[in-house]
Structure 1
Amino acid sequence: MRLTKLKLAGFKSFVDPTMVALPGQLVGVVGPNGCGKSNIMDAVRWVLGESKASELRGESMQDVIFNGSSNRKPVSRASVELIFDNSLGRAMGQWSQYAELSVKRVLTRSGQSDYLINNIKVRRKDITDLFLGTGLGPRAYAIIGQGMISRIIEAKPDELRVFLEEAAGVTRYKERRKETEGRLADTRENLLRVEDIRLELAGQMERLEAQAAVARQYHQLNDELTLKQQVLWVLRRNEAKAEQQRFAMEIERAGTDLEGQTAALRDIEAQLEASREAHFAASDGVHQAQSDLFAVNADVARLETEIRHQRESGVQLESRLAQLEGEQQHWQEQAERLDMDEERWRELQLVAEGRQEQAQMKLEARQERLPMAEEAQAAAQEALNQQRAEMAKVEQALQVEQTHRSHAERTLQSIAQRRDRMEQERESLADPDTSELDLKTEELAEQQERLIALQDKLGAAQGELPQLEARRRELLEEVQAAVKDVADVRARRAALEQLQDRVQSGGKVGEWLCRHGLESRTPLWKRLEVDAGWEDAVEAVLRERLNAVSLEDPAALAALVDDKPAGKLTLLLSGAAEAPAGGLLGRIRCHEPALAGVLADWLHGIDGVDSMEAALQRRASLAPGQLLVTREGHLLSRHSLTLFAPDSAEHGLLERQREIEALAAALDDKQLAVETAQARLAEVEERIAAGQSDSQNLRRRTQEQQDRIHTLQMEVMRQNQILERIRERHAQIEQAAAELAAEEEVEQERLFIADEAIAQQRENLDALHARFAGVRARLEEADRALREEREALANVEREHREAQFSLREAEGKLAEVANNRVMSQRQLQRIADDLAQCRQTRENLQVEILEPKLQEALEQRVLREQALAAQREAMENATQALRQLEEQRLKIEQGLNPMRDRVGELRLKEQAAALNVEQLTAQLLEAGANEEVLAEQAQAFAGTKASSLQSSIGSLQKAILELGAVNLAALEELESATQRKQFLDDQAEDLNTAMETLENAIRRIDKETRDLLQATYDTVNRHFGELFPTLFGGGEARLVMTGDEILDAGVQITAQPPGKKNATIHLLSGGEKALTAIALVFAMFQLNPAPFCLLDEVDAPLDDSNTERFAEMVKRMSANTQFLFISHNKIAMEMAQQLVGVTMQESGVSRIVEVDIAEALRMREQVAA
């Protein structure tokens, strides 16, 4: 990688853009003192990343920008660019693919410094990495400035080791080690954070494990409760099945008894049936006699009526005959009209059939002609489409040519406009006004001061946020604790209320209350206030009466007593009474007068004592019937002691109610505490939000200020670049004018070709248009013929449809005429029949014959009345016998009713048992119980009674209640926390592994560095020992380590010129020090040759003989390294292949004069020849 060009602009004394070409391996820079030669060395060091102004012989980095002279104004930016030949691909990293590399640095007065590689903005580190290990760098051994020779030789051991490391190329190892140490520190920090999280998680898991244990206990108790409840349901179902079977057997026995009595009843009923038959026979005789009498009476009445009726019927028949004759004439006329209609519609039917046949023939003819017309039209349409396609092609070609012509015209117009614009631009180009630049510079300084003030405010605003965050975390923990307390109290209260509601619902008693509309009545225990500590005493005395409900209507008692509840229940009857004070009653308060008398009755003679000792002391003085009750509920009389124990789910009603009320009050207090903590938290969060908003605002304003500063910097840079762009633009305008002239000539030629093509295409288009008119006329004729055919076909189809309609109409009318004829014939036949019947009836009227028959019937009626009297006497005797049998049957039936009731009652009980079985089965199904598994589990409860299971279930419910608030999500949270702990453990293990890997990497880097340094040290020491005698003509020199660890040890130089026994390097003269330093630098070069080497007057302390030896060595080393040296020594100048002269004809401004030595020698030889 060889340096080929050096470009400077605005850097120190090189104010004008200057390019230094470096084609050779030995380039000498010459010129008088103070002309700016060393500025070239400073420029190279600066572009390679030097950030210390003192190393560039300045007080600040702004000093590298040209600061003006007597004839020149200061400039706003400095830039230096190095051009390298990288055809061998020796550049490192992504830049190895480029054949040429450009490394550039730009600095503005605003302080903005940009690094670029191949015009791509990069970091300073990227520049350093590009030359890492090559000996190049801002302070590497390949750039030897003025006075640096003496500094090298007199450097401290640690400073001298830096040069050795650069020669060994271990700087990239040190960078890797530094990055690895950084990653190792980050890994340790991450591990500490992970350990903190693990520690916090361990405490959380400890709490969760306790909660999970409670949750598991809850699940265990709940599972056991569920199992026992289901087993209880199974036992009760089995009991219900047994009851159902028992009731079925009793039903069978009762049925047998019932059948026996029923058989006896059947015998009586058989006798009764015989008696009834006798009675029926007598009754039939009576009925027959009555019937005969009634028949005779009927005959008498009939004959009388018939005689009267026949006389009236004669008149009616004459009227009916006249009416029927009129109707007969009407229907005969209707038949004649139907004959005429039938004849007319048959003629119309014949005409319609003829019209249909003609229309069908026309339709078929038109349908045959239509396809021919369609084919002719399609052929004409196809011809027209082909003609249109040809015309479209020609029009497209014409359009293309017109597009070409338009494009050529637009291009020519654009060329003319561009030429005018360039002329206007050439005339308008002028030197920029620098007054605006000065104003922008002053504004930039003011904006930078404002930025510093904003940054100070931002730092102050951000400093308060950590304290507020800490306070917020404290308040958040307080709120969470208060919320947890509220949740615990609410859960305890909800559990107690749920238990109270479950107890109040009362099972079968609750069903009885619902059945009688009493479920909404408030139980007694809710209407009482008992002194604290006396709840058990009151419960022990009142027991199930605590659940008593009021009954306002005593009249309903009878109905309620008939339908007894499944458990004990007390009903309170209305009515107020005075309640005496004292005794246990004094421990109870109620605000309802109706309850005072009830409690007085129930608690009469019962007194409360604080302890059993006090009760025993008062036992002897108790009156008969008087009781003492302790706080624990134990009852003491004169002769007995009843110990109280909770034996039902109702136990604790009063105490639970008191606790519910206390929890409600506590819940309000804790809710208030939550709201207070939340208010404080909201206030702190508000302050945090305000602080964050202020910080955000300040950051935004700082960013805006930075943007403004950046804008100003860019504006200053832009104005500095305007002048350079003006010059470049002048050259571009001239070049563009020449290009425009050539482009205009080409476009004129294209315009001419396009005009000729357009004319040809227009001729072709005109011919096609002429042919298109004929084709279109033929298509129009074909369309007209097709349209006429379609219209004719439509007319024929319409005629065909009309003929069909007429034919169907005639056929319909004929059918209607036929139907009317049938109906007319039926009416005529009916009228004829009616006429015949009326005439026959008129002929049958014989009033004279009926009168003798009436006299005979009157005589027969007297005989029949005598027979009826005899039959009635016989029926009375049969009725007496039947009544006796009925009495016997009724007696047996009265005995059957209780037996039937018994059977019905047993069947109801059987149905109730079956209903219990169904309900329990439904409960098991609803609970999702597996019958087979449950049957196996129920074997463990063989022999256990249902009451025992119920008691066990109550104990389990109490145990679950005693667990308090249960975090059912604790198991899942614990599992999640366990997984997270496992993840953190894995992460910690990964971090430990990463730390071990990084430590191994550091050890490996140290080993490689140590081995490389040791080899470098040995090699450089050997080369140094060889070069020193070469430069001095004898003597010896070597490098000495100052420590045992080569990574930390310094390096000292021991040198003894020929004939000298000096103890230290400081005893050498200036020339000897210079030669020693040169020997050391060249020894490093032989190990790791840098791409190029800059030497700034290193030969100044040397005499001619030493200079010659120095020059010879440089020549030898130039085979591998490019040398750019500054010298005033003629001997050194003679070895240069190219001389670069630096002059300062204009005060304060350096300029370059290049001299190619080989070319100059050739010119001299040509002149001499």
Structure 2
Amino acid sequence: MRLTAIKLAGFKSFVDPTNIPIVGNMVGVVGPNGCGKSNVIDAVRWVLGESQAKQLRGASMADVIFNGSSTRKAVSRASVELTFDNSDASAPGQWAQYAEISVKRILTRNGESSYHINNTHVRRRDLVDIFLGTGLGTKTSYAIIEQGMISRIIEAKPEELRGFLEEAAGISKYKERRRETESRLKDTRDNLLRLDDIRRELDEQIGLLREQAITAQHYLTLQDQLKRAQQLLWLVKKRDALANQQRHAEQISLAEQQLAAQEDSLRGLVYQLESQRGDVLQANHTLNDAQGVYYAAVAEVSRLEQSARHLQETRARLEAQSALLSKQHASFDQQHQALTQQYADTAEAYAESAIIIEAAEYEGQEINDSLPEITDIVASTTQRVHTSQQALITAEQAHQLASAHGQHAEKTVQQLQTRQARLHQELGGLTAVDSTAIAEMSAMLDEFNESLAILTEQLADNQQTLADLIAQRLPLQQHVEQLNRQHHQTAGELAGLNKIQQSLSRNNAVDAWLQQHDLHHAPRIWQTLHIENGWETALEAVLNHRMQAVAADLATMQAVADSRVILFDNVTPPLAVATVGAFGLPRLLDKITLKSPLHGALHDWLAQVYITDDISTARAMQHDLPLGAQIVSPAGHILTRHSLQFYAEQDAAQGILARQNEIERLTQAHASITSELAINTALADELQATINDCQHTQTQLRTQHTQTQQQLHQSQLNLSRRQQEAERVDYRRAQITAEQAEIDTQIQQEGRAITEAQVQFTLHHEQITLLQAQLDDARRARQDADGLLQQQRELQRQAERKLQTLKFTAQTQHQKIHDLARAIELNQSQQATLLEQHESISIELLALDTAEQSAALQVAIAHRVDAEQQLAALRDQLEQRNALLRQQEETRMQLEHSLAPLRATLENLRLKHQEAALLLQQSDAQLVALQADETALALVLNSGFRTAGLNQEINKLTAEIEALGAVNLAAMQALESAEERVNYLQAQADDLNLAMNTLTEVMTTIDGETRDLLKSTFDIVNRSMSELFTTLFGGGRAELILSGDDLLDAGVQVFAQPPGKKNSSIHLLSGGEKALTALSLVFALFKLTPAPFCLLDEVDAPLDDTNTERYARLVKQMSAQVQFLFITHNRITMEAAEQLIGVTMQESGVSRTVSVDLTEAVSLAE
């Protein structure tokens, strides 16, 4: 790339948009001190990504924005743009395709900074990456040499010098990437440590969650049992509350009748009391009216007394104000006389000052008229001196220039011949790179890219499959958990009902008898039948204690005189009976399904038992029933020919058939849930196995993807090295060929320049002698004219000062006259105001009259005494009426006290009735809250549950639940989530470990290659620096020395000994020697890795003419490879430039550029 233009706007002193075209390889920037030349260097450094304000000679980054001047306002933004010619496609990466590249940076005062490449907004890092390894890096730039930087380079620390070598070797970008990689590795190790901590914590949590999950399952079972017991308890309370509510309602009705009789007696007395209270109230109203009259009279007396006091105070105040106004009027009159006298005196003095000013102005005008003639004489002599000086300077410069041109041309020819020989030697040493190897590496790179694309696609597909499977697993797991809860719930209910049934079948005495007769395995009759839902209570009411009858073969049994149970024959079949009973009513036997057909006893017991839904309807046919016939309702009420028996539970054995039906229903439901649970559990296990296989496949694909990426990266790295080497050899061969042709042309040009310089040298020497004499005569004439002009100007200044003093005195007098006139006018106005106020006060004093006020006060006092006497009489009447009312009130209270016991009794009954209602309401609310099925619970309740037993069972279950302590109900779900997270974290840890190992191996490989490249660079730069040092000093020696064993960490020191010196340290060199040594190092770096351009800011300042010539000659030689832009005040350096750009500051604080030739450049620099 080649720099073609620099564009600035608002940057430091370049406030106006400025375009600096760069048309040559040696461009000089000249101008006087302080005109802003170095701001061009700062602009280039800033646009290339510099982020430290001190490197730009500022305190903050906002200092680069133009901050205003005496004639210009500050601007709000600064921008700098560099334009590069990239026709050789040497830009890295995607930018190689552009023939021209523009790099731009914009900064606003609000701190917003933006970077642009070819008008595309990019990051700062993107811009910096373009110039990494080219000598233009932001940290180790050796291509931008500012004022004083030459000495800082040569005296830099060893670690800083190593940075220059890394930049020249092109490994700075690799080191930058390596630092980023190390940072990522550190973060990854930290992440792994955190992962290990998290996994350990999760392992502990999983162990705890497993225990909590078991506890939670047991807790849910106990909660279900507790809920059922609470439902039964509240149903019992509801039944009791209904009975209590009805009983208390009857008692309340009786108590209300007794209370009503007593209250009638009280009402008569209350009516009399109300009449008496009306009389008292009327008396109170009369008394209040009298009090109002009295209080009004008192208030009128107080008002009149206060008004009299106010009149006296007003008269005294007005008399005092009148005296004060008289005194102020006399004072203002004296002041008016004094102001009138001052006004007359000041007016007279002002008239005298006007006459004196007129005389002084005339005298000053005479002096001013004589100045132009003297000024013209001075200007004429000054122009003569300036013309002679310019002619002499031009002649001297031409004389020196001719001498320098001759010497420079001779040395240039010698250097060009030496350079030509060295280039020929270098051309013979260049070796071409094998193109076949590059083609093979490109083919391998394509294969890796194709494999990576396939693996990426497979990885994405597998990831999507895994996500779908995990999404399917959640609803299935939730369904399994729901089935588990139902399974445990039905199992608990079955166990509870079976336990009740078994407890009813156990009787120690009966069991012993059955064991004795080998009947302990024989079934009870209720175990051998099934009855339709709703008729369980009816069958239990009819059979009663026969429900526990035991099946036996009565024909084969011995005597059973000692039998304690009812036996029924399970062998003899029953007799055939009609299927329809009397009166068209169905029989109870029709609702029964027998598990064994040999139940003659059951047919005997139920042969004449009929059923009806409503027992009251069946009573119409009661007297038509045959002897022994029965009609039973679903509630168990039994109707016979001569009796009606209402069924009520008597012991816990009742409800045995309902429980048995519930057991059969729950058994079927439990079997169905168990089957469904097994199927869904198998499905969940199968789905989890599929997920595990998919996760394993995902891990394998990730490993293959990472390995392929590493192979691709290594192949890209190898191909890039080969291609860069091939490009470097081809580019260098072309450079050498072009440079050799250019050297031949330059040798011919320098020969012609030597001859022309000798002729010019003689001609200009004669011209200088003549011009020196003319300059001396002109200087003497200008000195005489300057003396006369200074004398006349002193007289002018004295006259101006005198006139100014007189004018100031007159102005002061005029202002005083104006102030006195205003004071007199104000005094007159104030006197008029005082007279008006005095007259107003006199009128107010005449208007004051106190006689009428005193008469009104005496009338008000008499009215107050009359009102007071009338008020006392009314108070006595009211007291008499109140005494009579209190007597009747005591009688009423005695009657009311007699009502209190009746009301207390009634209130107590109402509270009990309300308590029963509240208990009933509370029972309903609790049953709703517990989601109780009262119909189903009523069947269980009829079997004999009582409040005490239920409370005992609830307390037992509550104690068991409390014994469990705090229960984590989400433990099962949390356990599963924790196990999934552990598996996920393990997969992540494996991926991270694999990536870390891969990165570590790559970094080791790059370190080895970097070490080799840095060693080769060190040797080449060391050799080139030694050659350049000898060229610049005409002898001596210089070399680079490593300060460590490992090249990647070792520092670099510079050792230099100019000809004839044996110094032991670089710090003992002079400023010029340090500068030349530093230039030897910088140019050696350029020879190895030429930067797109090099900026030099007055690096020739400490050099004498001889060393400056050497410096300029070396720069000219290097310009064949590198584009130089240098700032200088040295004439020799200017002569070497192909293009000169002038910077001026004609407007204060604003820099502008101009194109100049050599003569103008020398004048501009001085």
**TM-score normalised per structure 2:** 0.39
**TM-score normalised per structure 1:** 0.39
Please say which structure displays the higher CA radius of gyration.
1
